[in-house]
Amino acid sequence: MRLLFLGSGLLTGRMRHVLLLAPGKAMGIFGAFLLFTSLYVYPVYPSPEQTEAGLVMVVMMLLMDLTIVPYWLYKYFGGRPSEIPVQGSKKG
């Protein structure tokens, strides 16, 4: 776990946000597979339970997107006016 925190210091802020979305997308793809196919991935669980788990995974992916993407857009476009550099101004 410590390696994860040390490695995240080397990433840019934008890359950290992309890495938050990546597991959600993988979960959504696997959830859609469980939702739309009638194949038994796990032979212990019946097909309706696998479909229900797939639906939950897809909904969780959508909820992650609805929380992370607006925050990401706000951080990208919503900088404070004092942080935006003005051309030709010198601080010092």
- pLDDT above 60: residue 39: yes
- pLDDT above 60: residue 89: no
- Please return the burial class of 34, using the count of CB atoms within 10 Å of its CB with bins 0-12, 13-18 and 19+: buried
Q: Could you tell me if 53 and 35 are in contact, meaning their C-beta atoms sit under 8 angstroms apart? A: no
Query: Does the model's pTM come out above 0.85?
Result: no
83 pLDDT band, cuts 50/70/90, is low
Q: What token pair was written down for 23?
A: 């597991």
